[in-house]
Structure 1
């Protein structure tokens, strides 16, 4: 072995088997997160140095099989077949061994060397389940290592065996399973034809390809048709003949027979001494006992609401001080830059375009961090799966599916998610109508990009009710999304709901390390977005709010008005009076009055400059329409920026009020600027919050909707439908509030 030896290791396993926990325990901070090329499915890679070997580990998406019914299954299978790792660490839940081994068998049928991590043996033992790892290893002919990923038990032994097997660089040897008298003869014939024609053998074993044709695997069949259309057609004909025969004789299909025989193989492996269960089958385990309360028909929803409120209460309480510190830091930085950079376009770009723009987004990092930590805790404990289970009855009432719940939650059902993975999560829905209705309404949830905007407006107009307001907005977003889904399912996507099946994972206490890693991954994505995309777009919108410059004639008029006021004062006070941020205390009444008049001229010039810009003209043109919702032209500019990314609403508002507020506002946070602006009030702020919550998804989400739905028309529909709904609801709120005399 040499220090330069490097081996590619894949981690595969079912969802909730502890795979990611084990990955985090092994790689620690030496990992990075990205996306698979051309696909928005998350890709995690990490490195671990062990006994002179460099193990490059890839955490594959959690999947129950390699049948490629979902994008996660397709990604996992393609990685194994195309990247050809030296081996797979297959993590299985020891307390659900039979079900977990189904994926193991499929990996072995591909022929990849496997090391089996028999995880959560402590949870299995608490249920009276004991597994003879040596006997299981002997029967499967692969190494089996008992582990407890969350505590690190067995990690060293697993790494030793992984390094040993990887260094051997074993050749691929596919597992051979008999699928019965109806399938085996045809399977053997197809395997012979495939091997004789060297058909797709660069990617997959011959018998595995034949199985995919029998299972009507669309991806493999399409690839085969491109490589050898004649042979592919012959294989399809053989598969169709078997399918027709099975339908006539057994009223079933080849894929069902194949699955039955795989489970039969697993059952045979686990018989006679591999698994011992010493406890009664009717015993209620801890997870079952907790579920009797937490998923109770009456108490469950109440507990869920209490937990949700507690999340917001803790998030806002603990993040308030760090957010205030960051705000003060950016305010100080802005004031300092004004002292060292001469007035002009450069100062405007640095202060208004970058610091006031991006700084407004970055100020809410503590809030985002605490929220992501809370969500990671609820995910890792297994509670979010219970939320989906409890809300299934509600969702079916609105024409959706129980699996739609997870898409909503991922999108920001508990504020802080993201609509892009939420839209992608709809892949688990088999009904096209339910899938479309879900991906069109999931963006109504309060994603992490909307959260800082809400937090800023709440801090300005509802400072004593942070948690209560976020709780109210979360409930409002769910009601709005479900109501819109009902409208869609009543009109353009009519059809019956399909049944909901969900496996509830056992409750687990997350590790602090795992929670911190999950929290940092999401927070870093937020920071990276603010430092790249948001920065670039903030500069772009600064330019749109700056150019074209105010004509010289109008600038001269403002300057003449200043000089006229100054000419009436003693000469020794004129210079000091023109300095930015001059204190009013200690000035004579006459001089203080002159100072206020000059500041008013400064503000008028700044506002005229902004109104004259491209963005200002667009915002003012829209004011005729948006005034019904209470939005003035600066707000319109920010909302236009929000079409690109919702974080831009804060940065654009910050820039607009910085450019248009003159130096009187220097040193003030955006929340304070809005709170002190006489044009703003609680009614207008709430109307804006509701509009931002509901209007068109960001550009990335719209692109994802087009891709996931397979049609651009649904992305355009989302833009039009969501924005129309947002406008009508916010206008009703604002006009209704005015009618009732609300607005103070």
Structure 2
């Protein structure tokens, strides 16, 4: 029979490092059922019967964030065989708060006092025997980063689990509970069993039928307990949470006084404090951040080494697109298919559908791996938490958390990693809103569209690209203001409380593992979506009725896609581009945004190879558009649903079909409304558009937008984080 050991601890306590140390490559990453919070499981090295479960980092078992709900639900309902509680030895007082709660669950707990090497370096001493005696559970010392004591900690947890299963581990109800709820216990002594006392510390505010049902308590007894709790609150002139929290910390301070001896310190700034004086300075913080991001993007998505730059990611991506999937794979596979004489349609499916689809996905992977690698370094050294702190002051004014800025910034390179970066946002509402708005910022794949419109209609003016970024950022900010006034996203951003960990040299094993996990997740999830979509679009573009028969067509004007696009082109007529070519280009942009220019090249019958911004077809495009209608076309394609790869990432991060549909629907609706307002009202001003029904619609939309932006927020102060615990199984 397998043994389940849960790793629990505060954020930045070294839990992930310990997990990687204990499991090595015997691990897999997934999502908790019903939620987007990542879960990791692995088998203990050398013992396949021991499963290590890495819980989200939490400060307490109070259900305020999704991570805390996930961890509490797992510990209370799933009940692992033992808990290995990782404690930061350099900040033991704060870490022991969670420890006391874990002990009260009645599950065997082994404390792993981490960073013991730093404790010794600081001249401090931790008496493990006294610590164990005071808390009633075994304590061991480890250094997860150096691998010191980790194997012994795992063995101690396994031994505790085995003793519990054999009935050899006596039930220990520690003094912390008695101390914490002494005043309440005096009133109900003898009227409730230990199960309620343990549960009370975990589920403080849920004094309702759920508690009665889950604990199988008599309703009258539960009511009696509740009365005494309220009487205690009245007597102490305080709420029960504060009473228990104060008593718990009082108990912890007593334990620390007995078990921990700290060396007297001369007051001076640490190395981290000195660095923070510069990187979080009110004046210097943003320029330094801009420089760091510039360097990161220059390395991953800037000018390729082959073109005189230093972007490793771009060089690798260019090689993947131009050589691997441009020459090697098509040449080898195409030659093989021709040698065995496959049918024309099958050849087209494999080469133009499957290979092209896989290439479209894998072509971006090198850039993303470099970007993920650099982001992982910044996260591991502790800089990204400072960035969120810096940006929170700005983003909070628009209803977003400081952590929302990171996905937006990453999204300027590619929407896929931008969406995936939203998982660092703890608050469920803020995370969903960030996912819905991140792809408004123009990514690298949208630059060819901007270049085409600027070159064909505006003489190559750089102001078009500048305006595109302003429009994207305005869409994000305005969405934040408007959505925060709706019931779905009601309330101010969650209180931004973040521990700023000390700077340290990155653990390269963690960096490489995080890079690989993010990259592989993209390949598996987004890749499957874009591959299927590419095959479907290949069929629609390649088949149709020609010469009175259905089959593969030589002229795409006769394809099924052209026929469908012609029927729905009227939808875009009020936006100024109601022709089937623009419709097909917009649809192909759902596969990859850079496909828009390539599709125009095919549809305008250009026989050669297009440059990136399609300057060979500028004259032909200019004949079908005015400057205003072309600008509306650009706005629609910049703001509407992103490419299939990004939509796949949205589905993964939302982990909910309804919310995925809401996100994509919102982006499409906003894009349509923005393009409609620009073309109809702009055309009315310039005289290009006469007053018509859609002009009235545009004016109404613009008026509604102003109302939604400036109306009073009736949800001000509604900051409760609403999490449906019943759906987390």
Match of 2:151 in 1: 156
Q: Deviations over 1:675-712 (max 9, x none)?
A: 6544579x999987865553347767887999999999
Deviates more, 1:351-360 or 1:120-129: 120-129
1:118–1:705: structure 2 CA closer, same or farther, 3 Å change rule? closer
Contact 1:357 1:650 survives alignment (8 Å): no
CA 608–671 in structure 1, closer or farther in 2 if over 3 Å, else same: farther
Determine if the alignment matches structure 1 residue 96 to structure 2 residue 41: no
The alpha carbon displacement at 1:424 in A equals 6.6
Q: For 1:532, what is the secondary structure of its paired residue?
A: helix
User: Deviations for 1:267-301, whole angstroms, at most 9, x for unmatched residues?
Assistant: 11111342313313x32112111111110110111
2:436 is matched with which residue: 443, 452, 455? 443
Contact 1:638–1:652 (CA under 8 A) maintained in structure 2: yes
Aligned partners of 1:234 and 1:712: how far apart in 2?
Answer: 45
Give the gaps of 5 or more residues in structure 2: 302-310, 456-463, 688-729
Aligned mate of 2:5, from 5, 9, 21: 9
Cα distance change on mapping 1:538 and 1:685 into 2, 3 Å: farther
Structure 2 partner of 1:34: 30
Summarize deviations over 1:503-531 as a string: whole Å, max 9, x none. Answer: 22222221111100000001001111244
Matched, 1:453 2:445: yes
Tell me the matched-pair count: 647
The answer on 1:428 being equivalent to 2:418 is: no
Task: Please give the TM-score of this superposition, normalised by the length of structure 1.
Answer: 0.74
- Partner of 1:649: helix, strand, or coil? coil
- Is contact 1:148-1:154 (8 Å) kept? yes
Pair 1:324-2:318 in alignment: yes
Q: Compute the RMSD of aligned alpha carbons.
A: 4.6
Query: Partner residue of 2:566?
Result: 617
User: How far, CA to CA, are the matches of 2:659 and 2:632 in structure 1?
Assistant: 32
The alpha carbon displacement at 1:186 in A equals 4.5
In the alignment, the residues of structure 2 paired with residue 709 and residue 182 of structure 1 have an alpha-carbon distance, to the nearest angstrom, of: 48
Which residues in structure 2 correspond to 1:472-487 (within 5 Å)?
Answer: 477-478=472-473, 480-487=475-482
The 5 A counterparts of 1:293-312 are 293-312=278-297
**Separation in 1 of the partners of 2:466 and 2:447?**
12
TM-aligned CA deviation for residue 125 of structure 1: 4.5
Q: Which residue of 2 aligns with 1:388?
A: 388
Which residue in the other structure is 1:595 paired with? none
TM-score, scaled to structure 2: 0.75
Q: 1:185 and 1:420 mapped to 2: Cα distance?
A: 52
Q: 1:285 aligns with which of 262, 266, 270?
A: 270
> How far did 1:261 drift?
1.9
Deviations 1:343-386 (A, max 9, x none): 73222222222222331121111011011112211221221211
Say yes or no: does 1:543 pair with 2:543.
Answer: no
Contact 2:449 2:596 in 1 (8 A): no
> Are the structure 2 counterparts of residues 115 and 407 from structure 1 closer, same or farther at C-alpha, using a change threshold of 3 Å?
farther
Distance 1:461 1:55 in 2: 60
Is contact 2:577-2:630 (8 Å) kept?
A: no
Contact 2:368-2:519 at 8 Å conserved across structures = yes
Distance 1:470 1:266 in 2: 58
Q: Distance in 2 between matches of 1:318 and 1:526?
A: 20
Gap regions ≥5 residues in structure 1: 196-204, 430-434, 464-468, 560-601, 643-647, 740-744
Deviation at 1:715, TM superposition (A): 5.6
CA contact (8 A) 1:93 1:119 kept: yes
Cα deviation, residue 12, structure 1:
0.9
For residue 120 of structure 1, the aligned residue among 98, 115, 125 is 115
Mapping of residues 36-115 of structure 1, within 5 Å: 36-50=32-46, 54-115=49-110
Which of 639, 644, 648 is the matching residue for 1:694? Answer: 639
When residues 161 and 84 of structure 1 are mapped into structure 2, their CA distance, relative to the original with a 3 A threshold, is same
1:149 positional shift: 2.0
1:598 alignment counterpart: none
**C-alpha distance in 2, partners of 1:539/1:265?**
64
Kindly tell me: are residues 355 and 222 of structure 1, through their superposed partners in 2, closer, same or farther at Cα, counting changes over 3 Å? same
Show CA shifts across 1:658-679 (max 9, x none): 98688956xx6x8659465445
Q: Pick one of 184, 192, 197 that aligns with 1:207.
A: 197
Q: CA deviation at 1:656?
A: 5.3
2:82/2:158 contact within 8 Å kept: no
Matched, 1:216 2:213: no
Task: State the Cα distance separating 1:190 from its structure 2 match.
Answer: 5.3
- The separation in 1 between residues aligned to 2:61 and 2:597, in whole angstroms, is 49
Per-residue CA deviations over 1:540-562 (Å, capped at 9, x if unaligned) read 33334345x12324999x99xxx
CA contact (8 A) 2:27 2:42 kept: yes
Quick check: 2:446–2:593 contact (8 Å CA) kept in 1? no
Match of 2:458 in 1: none
Corresponding residue number in structure 2 for 1:20: 16
- Answer yes or no: is the 8 Å Cα contact 1:309–1:471 preserved in 2: no
